[in-house]
Structure 1
Amino acid sequence: MENPSLLSLIVALLGFLSPCLTRLTPRVSFPMSSPGRHLTRFSCRDVSNTTTLLLSEDGDMLYVGARDAVLALDVSHKDAIILRSKLDWSPSEKDLEQCSMKGKKMADCPNFIRVLQFLNTTHIYACGTFAFSPRCTYIHSETLTMSIKPDEGRGRCPYDPYQRNTAIIVDGELYTGTVADYRGNRPVISRHLSEARRVDLKLDDTLGWLEDPTFISSSFSPDEEKIYFFFSEVGREYDFIDKFIVSRVAQICMSDVGGQRTLQRRWTTFAKAQLLCQADNELPYNVIQDIDTLPPAEGAPADDTVFYGIFTSQWSVNSGRSAVCSFRLTDIKSVFSGNYKVLNRDTLQWSTRVQEKVANPGECGLHNASDNALRFVKENFLADDSVRPVGRSLSMVSTDHNYSHLTVQRVKGANSKHYTVLFLLTESGYIHKAVLLQSGAHIIEEIQVFEQPQPVKSLKLSIPKGMIYVGTSEGVVRVPTANCSFYWTCPQCVLARDPFCGWDPASKACVEASNTQTSLGQDTEKGNVEEACNSVSFTHRARFGPNKLPAGELVTVSLNEVVRLQCPAASQLSKQLWERPNSRLSSDLYLHLEDGSLSFVATPATLGHYLCLSTENGYQQTMAIYHVKQKSILMAQTPGYTWPQTHPIPTTKAGLHASVGTWPKRADTRQQETEPTQSSWDTQVTTRQRDRNVTFRTEESRQKEAEFRDGELLLLARGPCYLKELVVVSVLLVLCLSLLITMLLYVIRQRCRSRTAPQAGTPTRHSDRRTPVEQEALRGVLSKRNGQALHSGQASRLVCNGALTGSNGHLPNTPI
C-alpha cells in the first residue's frame, strides 16, 4: 500500500463498519480482602519486584526471581505460603557506581532476575540484569546456593529491567529472545549452552530479520522439535507514513547447527509470519501483549495445540480495548509451508516471490543444504500469508479493561464436555475468570489482587493444585481457580456457569466437578436453572395468594414521608423487579432508581407489602420483602406488640460478601434444596447490606404474627376513620366561601357607585347656568357646611376626591 491517503480512507471505513461490541460484565466482583474469595499473600520487607515465577513439577515449590534475590516458597500448605530459603544476589558497590556513571537511575541498577528455568532435576539456571551488566549462574534447587561463579549473560538476559524478554530451556539448552547490547539496538534470537557437537547459534545481522521487536513468549513443540517465539515488531512490508506494528510468530528447528560456509553459526531455519487478530470488517488488534499455550486434549494430535493471546490496537478507533485471539498449531504450520515474500535490498521493498523456489524456508535440515539454497532462505524468511485466528473471529473483546497477562486451562465439565477457561490480569489490578462458550465469552467473576497498578507482573498457573500465582511489586498472591463454596444454593451455582462447579443434590452444596463422581446439576452453556436444579419455580399467584401475605422486614413510616426500599442484587448481571399484591406499580407514584431500590411517598394507597425480585437468565428469586405501615395506626391498634425479630444463624460460608451486595437469605422460588419441609414464606427475609445471615422464626413468633395479620386484615376491611378530619375541613371550607362571597359583593357595590358619582373638576349642566355671584355664594356655603360636617362627625360618605355627596349628587337645601 503505497498511498497514505488510501490507508486513512480504509481506516475510516473500517471504523464505521465495526459492529457494536457487547459489553462484558463480570457476574460477581470480589474487592480486596473480600471474605467471599480466599486469597493467600506472601510479602517480605526486603523482597520486591517478583518479575519471574517458576513452579516445580509437583506444584509444591514456587521459585521466585525478585530484585537482588531468588526465593524458594513452599506453597504446599492450604492457608499459607512459607519462605524456605533465599539467595541474595546483588551487585557490589562498584557495580552500582559504574551503572550510575553510565547515566542510569540508581533504582534501575539492582539485579532484576529475568531468566529462571529448570536446567535439570537438580539445578536452576538464572540470569539477571545486574546493574546493566547481565550475569547468569547455576543454582542448586534444594539448597538454593550457587554452584559456580556467575558469568556474562549478554544475549541471554536484557540489560534494562523494563525490557521484555523470553527464555526456555529444552534438553539442557537455552533458547532466548532478547537484546544483545547496552543500548538495546541489537535484538537476537539465540541458543546457548549447546551440548555435544552443536554450537551456539543466533540470527544473522542482515537487515530485516528483526525490526525493533518486543519479545513476549516462547513455546516448545515436541512433535516437530521446534521452538516458537511470539513478539511484536515494526512491519516493514507495509509502506505507511507511521510505523505500523505487527504481531509475529517465528520458528527455529532444534536440530539446526548453522551452515557450513553460508550462515555459519547462524540460524538456517528461521522464519516468521504475521499473527492477524482481526474479525471481518474490523480493524486488526495488531500489538500482542501476552500469549499462553493450551496443549491438546488427551488422545488428540499435537496439531490441536492452541495458542491464546492478548492483543491491543494502535488505532484510535480501538483505543482502550483488548482482544483475545486463538491460533491453532496446524494453521501456523500451514503458513510456514506456503509461499514467502522477498526483500529487495536496493529499494528495501517487500514483494511476493515470483522467482523459482530453490528451497523451502523454515524446513528443518537445511544446515546441510547448498550455499545457493542457504542464500535463498536468507532472503526469504517472511511468510507471504498471515496466521488467521480460529474461526476467523475474536475469542473475546473487552471495551472496558486493558488486559496485560493471561493463562489458559481446559476444564472438563459435569457433562464430560471440555471448556476453555481464561484467567486474565487487568492493568487495574483484577483477575478476570472467563469461560469461552458457543454464545460468546462469559466472565464468571473478577478478583482484586492488588490495589494499585504494578509496573512488572507475572502470572503462573498450577493445574494440579488448582492455583494461580501472581507476582507483584510487593510479593506473591495465590488465587484458587475454583470458588464453588461461595454459591450456597442450586440456582446460584447453576447461574454462575462455572465449569469448575456443580450442584450436588446429595450434600446440597456446590462442589468442584472434578472431586465427585455423582451426577451434578450444571449448565455451563445456557445456565438453565429449571433443568439443572430439577424443580419448578412458584408462580406470581403463589407469592401473593389469599391468606398468604408474606412476612418481611417491617418499615414504619409517617404519611407524606419519602420512603426508599433497598434491593440487593443477586449478581451484576441480574435485574431487580418490584411487585405488590393485587396492585400495579404506577410510574406516577413510584420511582425505580438505578441501584434497584424503590422510592415513593407514603400515602394510604402506597402502604402495604413490597416484594423485590431478581431476574437473571430467565430465573427469578426473591431478594427482599418489606411491610410498609403507618406509625400512628400501628401504635393505636397494637400498643403492646413488637414485630418478630430475626435470629442470625452462625455460618461458615466463606463467600458471604461480594461487591454486588452481601446477599441476604433469600426466599428463593426454589426452597427444595435449602428447606424442603417448609413453604416458600417460612423463611424470613431481611435486606441487611452488611450481612448475609440465615434467619428463622420460632413457633410462638409465628402464632403472634398470624394473630397480628388477622387483626390487621380486619382493620383494613373496616377501613380507617377520618370523621374528625372531615368536620374540620368542612368548617374551613364554609368560612372560606363566606369570606369570598362577602368580598365579591363589596367589590361589585363599589364599582356600581363609582359609575354614578361625578368626576372632580367636571361641571354639571346646572352649575353652568349659575351666575358668578351665585357660584361665589355657593362656594362659601360649601366651605362652611363642609367644615361643620367634618368637625361634628356627621359626614355619611367620603369619596376619593374629598367631595361630600348626597342621594342625587346635589347639595342639600340648594335650589335647583
Structure 2
Amino acid sequence: MITPAQTFSLSLWMNIEPNAKPLDLNVPKLHRSCCNGDTKPVVPHCGLAQCAETSPDKAHSQSLLPCGPGRSLTRFSTPDVSNTTTLLLSDDGDMLYIGAQDAVVALDVSHNDIITLRNKLDWSPSDKDLEQCSMKGKKMADCPNFIRVLQFLNATHIYACGTFAFSPRCTYVNSKTLTMSTKPDEGRGRCPYDPYQRNTAIIVDGELYTGTVADYRGNWPIISRHLSEGRHVDLKLDDTLGWLEDPTFVSSTFIPDEEKIYFFFSEVGREYDFIDKFMVSRVAQICTSDVGGQRTLQRRWTTFAKAQLLCQAEGELPYNLIQDIDSLPPAEGAPSDDTFFYGLFTSQWSVNSGRSAVCLFRLADIKSVFSGNYKVLNRDTLQWSTRVQEKVANPGECGLHNASDNALRFVKENFLADNSVRPAGRSLTMVSVEHKYSHLRAQRIQAANRRAYTILFLLTESGYLHKAVLLQNGVHIIEEIKVFEQPQTVKSLELSIPKGVIFVGTSEGVVRVPTANCSFYWTCAQCVLAQDPFCGWDPASRACVKTSNIQTSLAQDIDRGNVDEACNSVSLTPRVRFVSNKMPAGELVFVSLNEVVRLQCPAASRLSQQLWERPNSRLSSDLYLHLEDGSLSFVATPATLGHYLCLSTENGYQQTMAIYHVKQRSSPNAPTTYTRPQTHTIPMTQTVAWPGPTLPKRTTTKQGQTQPTLSSEDTQITTRELKRNMAVWTQKSGWKKGEFWDGETQLWSGPCYLKELVVVSVLLVLCLSLLITLLLYTLRERCHRRTAPNLGTPTRDLNRRTSVVQQAFRENQSVNKWNGQALPSSQASGIVCSGALTSSNGHLPNIPI
C-alpha cells in the first residue's frame, strides 16, 4: 500500500503535481449499450452480437447463425472441455489448437459459420497425483493439468506443457493425430506450478525460451532456454544478484534481424528505494546465439539486460503495470527498427484506478536505451546509483560469451539500463477512462486511399471487444462486440490476419469474431461514417464491401468521415422536410389528452446527436423534455398534437430517423393504437439497428403472420421492419406486463387497475365521512349560539332570574303530581340545544319576576 507521503515523494521526483489529472485524449466517451438496451458503456457504430443460439444437433461443433444486419459470432463450447485459454493458430489459419484443462484440443476453423472439433488429447493427472497435490495444501480445483505452454516445434509436432497437479510436465504432441510422441518429462522452469501464475514461452529454431517461475512456492523467477541443440546449451539467469524482482511475465517476441528475444513483464522497481513495492514495467533482452561464459557465468546468460518501459503523459503519474503487448512488424520495405510494440497498461495509483492506457514503443528507441549507460549496484547496500564509469563491455551485446572474465563480471553487475524507454512522440496513444482492458492485438491495414492504418482490438474485463482505428487527431472506436455474457477471469486473444478473424479464449469456450462487418452498413452514408478501414462503399454494387475484395475505387473517408465528399457520386436521399401539403403520415400515435407521451429517436451511432423538429413550431423547454437517450417527452394537449420529425446529425451530415403523427383518440376509453401507414414510406439516408431494448421474440400465428411475445416486463419495446435503404419504426413506450398486441389491428389492451380503483374508492368514502362530520359539528355550534342566554346581563339579575325559574319549575312539577297525570307531549316543556326550559313555541313560560 502506498502512503500519501510516498505518493508526494514520487510526485517531486517526477516533477508533477500530486493530484494531477490524467490526460484526456480524443477518445469518444461511451454512454449506453448498443446491443441489448441496458446501461452498459458502449461505442459508436456497433453491431448486434450473439443473435442466435448454439446448434444443439452437432456434438462436436458449435455455431451462431446470422441474424440480419447484426454481427454473427461463432462459439465453441462443450461440457467436457473447459478453461480454453491457451491458443495456438496454424500458419494458414485453418486449425486452432487449444490448451485446456486436462486436454489439448484441435479445432477446424476453416469454415466461416462453424467450428468443428477434430481431435482431442486427454492429459490429466492420476488419482495419486491429485492426492499428493491436495496433501501439499492446494485446492482440488487447482490440481488438474492446466495447459500453459503450446508452441509449434516443427511442421509435424507441438510442444505442450501443463501444471499437472503442481508438478509441471511437458511432452511432444503430433499435430495431425494429436497423440503424444514421447512420455511426458519434467517441466520445471518451462511451465508454472500455479495455474494462475502468468508465463510466456516462444520456440525459435526448435529451442524453447520461457519466462516463468522454477519453484513450487513461486519465489524463483527465471528466464531460461531449453531443448538446446548443437553448440547451444540450456541457459538460465544468474540468481545471485536478483536479476528479476517478483516479475509477472506478459509476452515475448523474437526479432529475426536482431537475433534477440524481448521479454515484457512487470516487477518491483528496486531502484526506487523511497517507495515500498513500487511496480514498474520492463523490457528485457537476450541473444539467441548466447552460450554462456567459459569460467564466469557458465550456463548463465551473458547478454541479459533490462530497461524500464515508461507509459506516462506529461504532468501525470505513470501507468506502470503492463497487461499485454503486441508487436507490429515494419511495413514492407521498412527497416526492422520500425517494428512497433503496442502495450496495454494500467496503474497502481488510486488516481488512475479503473483506467487503461495504450502506449506505442519503437524498436529503435529500445535499442538506443540498451546501448546507453547502465546503473551500478552497490553490493553492500544493494542500492542502485548512476555514476560515470569506464565501460568494460556493452551489456546486452551479442557475442559476449567469448569476452574476458572482467567483462563478464561487468555485465553481470550492470544489467539495468539507466534510461527508460519512452513512448513514441512522448505521448500516450489512447486513454480509456470508462473501461479497463485486459488484452490487446494490433493489425496494420491499407485503406482504399492506399494509406496504412493501425487497428487495435481491445478486450474489456466486462466481456466486450472494442475495434479502434488510430487517426492523426486521436482514436476512433469503430464498434463494440459483446463476446460473452458474464465477465471471465482468464482469457486470451489470437488474431488471424489471413482469415480476417480474431479468436477469444475464455474459461467457458472459444469465440470467433470477424474483424470486419461491412454488411452491417446498408448505405453509403453509414459506411463512410463508420470510418472503418476494412470497409468502403462500392458505387457499382451499391453495397459496403471489404476493401480487399474489390479493385475499383471505393467511397471512403477514414480520417474525417465526410459523407458529402465521399458519397458525391452516389445519389443520397435528401432528408424529409416539413411541407404542408406533402407531409408523410409517418407513425400514427393515438393518445388521450393530458397523457404523457414519449417518442423514441433511434441513434445512428454513439457519436450522433438527435434533434427534434415540428412544422412551423418551436419545441419550447416549458412543454417538451429532451431525454438523455434522445427521446422526446411531453403532455398531450391540443397544442402538442401533430407531426414530429426526429433527426440525427454526425460530422455535419443530417438524416431523418423517424416521423411521428400524434393524434387524439376518438373514444376516451379506446386503447392506444399504433398504425403503420400502408401508402407512405419514410425516406432514410441511413438505417441502423436501434440499440435499444431487446427485440421481442416473434411467434407465428395460424394465418402465418408473426407477432412479438413479451418475455419480461419491458419498459420500452421497439419493433422494426427493415428494407434495403428504408426503415419504418414502430415504437410504444410504457408497456406493462400483461399487455397484448394484435398483429392485424395493432390494438393495445391496457393493464387492469382494479386495485387502484378500490383504493381511490376507500379514500373517497373517508373524505365524505369526514366532511359530513364537520358539517354536523358546525350546525350544532351555530344552534348553540342562537339559544344561549344573553351573557351581557348583570350577574345579580341573572342569578335572581335563575332562582325564580327554578322555583317555578318545582311548582309546576308539584301541580303535575297533584293532578296525577302527565302533561301532553305537545304542551310539555323541554330543553332544546342549550338546555333551557322553553314552551312549545320556543319562548320562556310566563313566570312572575
TM-score range, shorter chain: 0.7 to 0.9
1:17 counterpart residue number: 20
1:396-420 deviation line (CA, Å, top 9, x unaligned): 1111211111111001111111111
Task: Please say which of residues 36-45 and 285-294 is displaced more in the overlay.
Answer: 36-45
Q: How far, CA to CA, are the matches of 2:266 and 2:681 in structure 1?
A: 57
The total of aligned residue pairs comes to 723
User: TM-score, normalization: structure 2?
Assistant: 0.77
Q: Does 1:63 align with 2:97?
A: yes
2:214 paired with 1:197 = no
In structure 2, the partner of 1:644 is 677
Equivalent residue in structure 1 for 2:628, among 574, 578, 594: 594
CA contact (8 A) 2:281 2:321 kept: yes
Q: Contact between 2:284 and 2:304, CA under 8 Å: does it hold in 1?
A: yes
Whether contact under 8 Å (1:503, 1:510) holds in the other structure is yes
| In structure 1, C-alpha distance between the alignment counterparts of 2:425 and 2:403, rounded to whole Å | 37
Report the counterpart of residue 528 of structure 1 in structure 2. 562
Alignment partner of 2:155 out of 121, 138, 162 = 121
Residues 205 and 6 from structure 1, CA distance in 2 versus in 1: closer, same or farther, beyond 3 angstroms?
closer
Contact 2:535–2:545 under 8 Å retained in 1: yes
- CA change 1:52–1:428 in 2 (3 A) is same
Unmatched 5+ stretches in structure 1: 637-641, 664-686, 698-753, 781-790, 793-799, 805-816
Indicate whether 1:659 and 2:691 are aligned. yes
Q: CA separation in 2, counterparts of 1:218 and 1:548?
A: 66
Tell me how far 1:52 sits from its aligned partner: 1.1
Displacement, 1:11? 4.3
Q: For structure 2, which runs of at least 5 residues remain unmatched after alignment? A: 31-41, 53-66, 696-715, 727-784, 809-824, 827-833, 839-849
User: Which is worse superposed, 552-561 or 687-696?
Assistant: 687-696
- For the 8 Å contact 2:603–2:690, the answer to whether it is kept is no
Tell me if structure 2 keeps the 8 A contact 1:489–1:509.
yes
The aligned counterpart of 2:720 is 691
Hey, which of these two has a bigger chunk of helix by percent? 1
Match of 2:318 among 276, 281, 284: 284
Per the alignment, residue 249 of structure 1 pairs with: 283
Distance 1:536 1:43, change over 3 A: closer
Residue 366 of structure 2 corresponds to residue 297 of structure 1: no
8 A contact 1:662–1:692 mirrored in 2: no
Q: Give how far 1:694 is off.
A: 2.8
Q: Compared with structure 1, are the counterparts of its residues 537 and 197 closer, same or farther at alpha carbon in structure 2 (3 Å cutoff)?
A: closer
Q: Does 1:385 align with 2:419?
A: yes
Confirm or deny: 8 A CA contact 1:322 1:397 kept in the other structure.
yes
- Counterpart Cα distance in 2 of 1:383 and 1:221: 20
The separation in 2 between residues aligned to 1:696 and 1:62, in whole angstroms, is 39
Task: For residue 375 of structure 2, give the secondary structure of its aligned residue in structure 1.
Answer: strand
Deviations 1:88-124 (A, max 9, x none): 1111222212212211111111111111111111111
State the one-letter code of the partner of 1:26: V
1:539-570: CA deviations, max 9, x gaps? 88x60134221220111222222222122222
Secondary structure in 2 matching 1:97: helix
- Describe the SS at the equivalent of 2:666: helix
Q: In structure 2, what is the Cα distance between the partners aligned to 1:409 and 1:462?
A: 10
Shift in CA distance, 261/520, structure 1 to aligned 2, threshold 3 Å: same
Aligned residue number for residue 8 of structure 2: 8
Cross-structure match for 2:354? 320
Residue 760 of structure 1 contacts residue 801 of structure 1 at CA under 8 Å; is this kept in 2?
no
Aligned positions of 1:540-619 closer than 5 A: 543-619=577-653
Alignment of 1:217 with 2:234, yes or no, is no
Match of 1:711 in 2: none
Residue deviations 1:157-177 (CA, integer Å, cap 9, x gap): 111111111011111111110
Q: How does 1:131-530 map to 2 (within 5 A)?
A: 131-530=165-564
Q: Aligned equivalents of 2:595 and 2:194: distance in 1?
A: 66
Could you tell me how far apart the structure 1 residues matched to 2:657 and 2:145 are? 55
Which residue identity does 2:544 align to in structure 1? C
Contact 2:614 2:645 survives alignment (8 Å): yes
Which whole-Å deviations, capped at 9, do the CAs of 1:60-81 have from their partners, x for residues lacking one? 1111111111111111111111
Could you tell me which of 20, 23, 26 is aligned with 2:43? 26
Q: Residue 108 of structure 1 corresponds to which residue in structure 2?
A: 142
1:347 is matched by which residue type in structure 2?
Answer: T
- Residue 761 of structure 1 aligns with which residue? 792
User: Is the contact made by 1:656 and 1:692 (CA closer than 8 Å) also made in structure 2?
Assistant: no
Q: 1:30 to 1:11 in 2, by over 3 A?
A: farther
Question: What residue in structure 2 maps to residue 796 of structure 1?
Answer: none
Per-residue deviation at 1:421?
0.6
Three-state SS of the structure 2 residue aligned to 1:323 is strand
CA distance in structure 1 between the aligned counterparts of 2:209 and 2:504, rounded to whole angstroms? 24
The letter for the 1-side match of 2:106 is: A
Q: Within 1, Cα distance between the matches of 2:689 and 2:580?
A: 36
Q: Return the letter of the residue paired with 1:250.
A: A
Q: With structure 1 as the length reference, what TM-score do the two structures score?
A: 0.80
8 Å contact kept, 2:293–2:299 = yes
Mark the CA change 1:45 to 1:648 in structure 2 (over 3 Å): closer, same or farther.
Answer: farther
Asked if 1 retains the 8 angstrom alpha-carbon contact of 2:47 and 2:520, the reply is: no
Distance in 2, matches of 1:79 and 1:463, equals 17
- Conserved 8 A contact 1:30-1:658: no
SS in 1 for 2:564: helix
Question: How many angstroms apart in 2 are the aligned matches of 1:139 and 1:31?
Answer: 35
Matched AA of 1:761 = G
Question: Any idea what SS the aligned residue of 1:689 has?
Answer: strand
In the TM superposition, residue 150 of structure 1 has moved relative to its aligned partner by 1.2
Q: Deviations over 1:762-804 (max 9, x none)?
A: 68xxx9xxxx9xxx9xxx9xxxxxxxxxx99xxxxxxx999x9
Alpha-carbon separation, structure 1, partners of 2:163 and 2:246:
20
Structure 1 residues 302 and 450: CA distance shift in structure 2, 3 A? same
Q: Distance in 1 between matches of 2:791 and 2:149?
A: 114
Q: Secondary structure at the match of 2:722?
A: coil
Residues 194 and 200, structure 1, Cα contact 8 Å, conserved in 2:
yes
How far 1:634 sits from its partner (Å)?
A: 13
Query: 1:15 deviation in Å?
Result: 4.7
SS of match in other structure, 1:16: coil
Residue in structure 2 matched with residue 632 of structure 1 by the alignment:
666
CA distance in 2 between counterparts of 1:536 and 1:83 reads 48
Residues 648 and 693, structure 1, Cα contact 8 Å, conserved in 2: no
| Distance change (3 Å), C-alpha of 1:556 and 1:3 | closer
Q: Displacement, 1:379?
A: 0.6
Whichever residue aligns with residue 185 of structure 1, its letter is N
In the TM superposition, what whole-angstrom CA distance separates every residue of 1:369-408 from its partner, at most 9, and x where no partner exists?
Answer: 1111110011100000000011111111111211111111
Residue 759 (structure 1) shift = 8.1
Cα distance 1:142–1:801, how it changes in 2: closer, same or farther (>3 A)?
closer
Amino acid in the other structure paired with 2:278: F
Q: CA deviation at 1:51?
A: 2.1
Amino acid at match of 1:510: C
> Over aligned residues, Cα RMSD in angstroms?
4.2
Instruction: Kindly state the Cα deviation for residue 9 of structure 1 after the two structures are TM-superposed.
Output: 5.3
AA at the equivalent of 2:691: S
* Secondary structure in structure 1 of the residue aligned to 2:719: coil
In structure 2, the partner of 1:729 is none
**Structure 1 544/3 Cα, relative in aligned 2: closer, same or farther at 3 Å?**
closer
One-letter amino acid matched to 2:224: S
Q: Is the 8 A contact 2:608 2:650 kept in 1?
A: yes
- Contact 2:648–2:657 at 8 Å: present in 1 too? yes
Q: CA deviation at 1:696?
A: 11
Cα deviation for residue 691 of structure 1 reads 2.5
